[in-house]
Chain A
Amino acid sequence: MKISKLFALGLFGTFLLNSCSSDDDGFVEVPEENEEQAYEEGVIILNEGSQTEGTVSFLDSEFTNVENNIFETVNPDMGLGGYLQSIFFDEDHAYIISNGSNLITVVDRETFEYEGVVDSGLTVPVYGVAYNGKAYVSNRNLTWGDGYTTDDFLTVIDLETLEVEKTIEAGKVLGQVFEKDGLIYVENASFGLGNSILVFNPETNAFEDTYELFVNNENETEGLTSIEIIDNVIYALSNQNLYTLNLSTGEELTKTDLSNIGSTNNLDIEDGIIYFTSGTSVYAITEGDLESPESPLFSYESTSAYGVMYGFAVEDDYIYTSDGGDFASAGTIEIYTTAGDFVAEFSVGIGPNSFYFND
């Protein structure tokens, strides 16, 4: 640990030195580098870690440099915990979820200064959303049924006190959490197993509705992989189909068969284009024309023989992919334009699994 910190500091130092010595025309323009907002603009990359703790990397918005271990740099002698699963945000804060250590670490989203931690009442927390001074976080309960998937629960956390104030059992597996128009939508799926979306009402602190997408008959293996909510429509991607649902009724609007591609995953919708991945390829279709695409936008070009879309995001004009490599050394991220042209590649921490954007 000590060594990686030193290494990171060394890298950071080199970067500072380089940026200082590049200007030698006499009129050295000292940048108004406000230390407080070091991470104001750019891409936050979450590295889940493996045997050891996870870390956060930061890529500046010009794509010139990645700074690794930013939390440890800003907050010496502190760590974020094991297996960092995801980050959720409110206006000023980032909430970093460690499912290996049952922690949610609160930092200033622009400086990454430590502000507090939720360290009790959680059991393998996975995803969360902040709404109205509370956080709604999905947890695994680790009761062994058919896998650890039977009695997950949602915790309601007071973001002032950082205490868990309520725990609501769902009786089924929970995944990603979204908020839309005062209701919380929770994916009933994990590791590609699951078939519905649960609607949770923060007023009553109860699950009020279930939108079931499909039912597997024997030998069928359809599983929900990811969802997105745009306006009044839920987009739900399974490993075989793309569904659109009416947000308030759960009624199915469309169903697009993607089985010609198969193993579809990582739904992300940006500027009217629906992006998703399959294996090492990225596909795109427009919201208005829900036909299965015949060919990928681009295929993942990696020197790693087992390159996998471990993390995927589309933001503005760029597509971000990450590769876990062997999970025992630095992972890599790659950036492409939305046209599929390669832009840049960087080495980050161990097991990069998700991207978030500060602007």
Chain B
Amino acid sequence: MKKQLLFILVAFGLFSSKIYSQSREITVLDTVMLSDTKLQKFSTGQHVAVLSDSLLTQNQPLLTEVLNFNTPIYFRENGLGMVSSPSFRGTSASQTAVIWNGININSQFNGQIDFNTVNSGAYNQIAVRGGGGSVVYGTGAIGGSVHLNNTLSFKKRQEHHLLLRYGSFNTLDARYNFKTARKNWSLNLSISRNSSDNDYEYPDDRGENLNGDFYNNSANVTLGYRFNSKNTLKLISEIYDGERHFSLIRPSENRTKYNDRSYRNLLEWNSEFSNFTQVARLAFIREEYQYFANIENDSFSFGNAQSYIAKYDLAYEASEDLLMNAVIQNTYTEGEGSSIAKNDRNIFSAAILAKYHFSEKFQSEIGLRKEATDNYDSPLLYSFGASYEFSDFYSLKFNGSRNFRIPTYNDLYWASSGNPYLNPETSDQAEIGNIFRIKNIESGLTFFYNQVEDMIRWLPGEGGIWRPVNEDKVEIFGIESYLNWQKKLAKDQILNVNLNYAYTISENAETHRQLIYTPFQKINGNINYQIYRFTPSLQFLYNGKVYTRTDHSDELSGYFLTNVGLSYAIDKRRNWQLGARINNLLNNEYQNVEDRWMPGINYNLYLNINF
């Protein structure tokens, strides 16, 4: 019986204990290899939420949408599918690090990732960790980090998985995943495409979303070879190609478009000997963009940057209770653009980490990192964390860290306005987490405090030319909380609830005013109820009001969104599902950037098959 239940859970994408599980529970997937092993081993005192691939299947592929409905991260989106930047725990867009298989991929140009240029279909797992992480992940891990992972397993199999989704505004989401493993070889291939005319109506006859169409394609190959039980070679290679037309506020505006392409390659050799584990990595990452300020013209402005990364990671299990780890990394980057002369920079970093188990219930870790570069003054970064399980009911966690965000190519080298004398933004932060567990319910409540100094801001200087300066100081504090509940109500009936609530005060330390486009409150949740072959689901989101002016003279009101879905298992054994979803069921009008209306009620149908 139990086995059957587990099967159903997996089969119907209800493996939700993973949706918000503690970091240590990620190891449930013990046959699955992740490149980003630090996330499991060095997150003591922090909360890691893992979005399983089955959950990713249920949502639209744009990473903005996936995270918006499943995590406390707030997004500022210039209309559906357009430029989207995160605010994680009240921080700025370049203060969320995006980690691809353990490698930081924030743009060299603006220090951010546009979350609408990531197709979540390319990944097997997405994890989100709140709070600082620069010691392990480097620049930008201030508000938190988002981890895009491809997994590999050597368990013998051959699986094809196909998802097709079609909906309003001629929106297509197609994903194909092939996994195979034989003897010492393993292959994981993902191909996805997402496209949309995106020509939705604005509320109240304000017009139509013109010039908003987009497409993106991504392909990811993960190939592994196991020499023996202690030596594995792995290659992950990914290409992303996207084109977006940026939507207009008024029909008379110039029509623009933006093409971006990224190449990410990682070669990794894992080996173990006596009590040592070493991982050697070589990575090559390239980002390219082209911006057409007027699509009537063929001319464009551009930026290209490539990074060559060599990383060596040596872990030593000194005893059953003590794990020590040293990581050295060299990153060489060269970039150029229309307004950026060719520049290169080299950053060498060294980090040491240690984790100690005082007992099964009490563990702690510390970490230190220092970078050497002639590009900026690099501060010493540190982190420490501890967790203690008082009882089955209650655990207490603590984490504190110093983190940074380094100046970007735009900040340093933008023609006639870049400022080569910038320092990194630094953040000192601490958090206390409480975990409560009763039967099938797990709930977490985290208090955090974060002080960010030397924030880089572009301000008008002499002659009206905007230049970046280390200017602002921001003070952030708030709470993040979650609740996960899973209950089998009767035979073949399972209820599954996940809720998040966050309250964030993020204010300019001088004016004591909340930063613009940073809501005080965000609530979201997912409720699934599986009855026999049917699974109705409800997803909701509330974003509180945001100020749009630094003097708080204007604001966007909060909004509430509801999505409902229903899926039907055509073939239970092979996990074939047919589903339908209604987004923005209440047809609420909303925008999260001023003058950028989002769509009203819209629909999609999907088919999910495995063979």
Contacts and interface: CB of A to CB of B under 8 A. Distances in A.
Contacts of B251: 119
A136 to B, nearest CB: 19
B461 interface: yes
B460 A141 contact: no
Contact of B297 (A3, A82, A143, A279): A143
B459 A326 contact: yes
B548 A51 contact: yes
Given A1-B595, A51-B593, A141-B294, A279 B462 contact: yes
Contacts of B516: 328
A1 B464 CA distance: 27
Contacts of B297: 141-143
Interface string B258-300: 0000000000000000000000000000000000011001011
Contact of B252 (A102, A192, A308): A102
B36 interface: no
B252 A51 contact: no
B602 to A, nearest CB: 24
B459 A142 contact: no
Contacts of B595: 1, 51-53
Interface string A323-334: 010111110000
Contacts of B553: 4, 7, 329-330
A144 B338 contact: yes
A224 to B, nearest CB: 13
B551 A308 contact: no
A100 interface: yes
Interface in B589-610: 593-595
A7 B300 contact: no
Contact of A327 (B254, B294, B460): B460
Given A4-B554, A124-B254, A328-B516, A265 B463 contact: yes
A167 interface: no
A29 B397 CA distance: 73
A343 B571 CA distance: 80
Contacts of A141: 294, 297
A126 interface: no
A308 B467 CA distance: 13
Given A53-B595, A263-B462, A101 B338 contact: no
Nearest to B253: A101
Contacts of B159: none
Interface string A117-142: 00110111000000000000000011
Interface in A310-359: 310, 324, 326-330, 350
Contacts of B549: 328-330, 350
Contacts of B294: 123, 141-143
A122 B253 CA distance: 9
Given A82-B249, A350-B549, A142 B460 contact: no
Contacts of A7: 553-554
Contacts of A245: none
**Interface size grouping (class) on chain A:** 35 or more
Nearest to A265: B463
B158 interface: no
A15 interface: no
A63 interface: no
B24 interface: no
A324 B549 CA distance: 13
A332 to B, nearest CB: 11
A100 B460 contact: no
A3 B554 CA distance: 6
A119 B516 CA distance: 32
A148 B594 contact: no
B492 interface: no
B422 to A, nearest CB: 16
Contact of A119 (B252, B338, B548): B252
A192 B4 CA distance: 73
B555 interface: yes
B551 A52 contact: no
B303 to A, nearest CB: 12
Contact of A123 (B254, B338, B463, B550): B254
A100 B253 CA distance: 7
Contact of B464 (A3, A122, A308): A308
Contacts of A102: 252-254
A95 to B, nearest CB: 15
Contacts of B551: 329-330
Interface in B457-479: 459-464
Contacts of B299: 142-145
A192 B416 CA distance: 12
B182 interface: no
A239 interface: yes
A130 B250 CA distance: 25
B461 A51 contact: no
A304 to B, nearest CB: 10
Interface string A184-220: 0000000110000000000000000000000000000
Contacts of B460: 306, 308, 310, 324, 327
B301 interface: yes
A53 B459 CA distance: 20
Contacts of A142: 254, 293-294, 297, 299
Nearest to B466: A327
B515 to A, nearest CB: 10
Interface string B332-359: 0000001100000000000000000000
12 contacts: A1-B595, A4-B553, A4-B554, A53-B249, A81-B252, A103-B250, A141-B297, A144-B301, A326-B459, A326-B550, A328-B550, A329-B550
Which 9 A-B pairs rank lowest in CB-CB distance, beginning with the nearest?
Answer: A329-B551, A142-B293, A329-B550, A142-B294, A119-B252, A143-B299, A144-B299, A102-B252, A101-B250
Given A82-B253, A101-B250, 15 more contacts: A1-B594, A7-B553, A51-B595, A52-B548, A52-B594, A101-B252, A101-B253, A103-B250, A122-B252, A123-B294, A142-B297, A142-B299, A144-B293, A144-B299, A306-B459
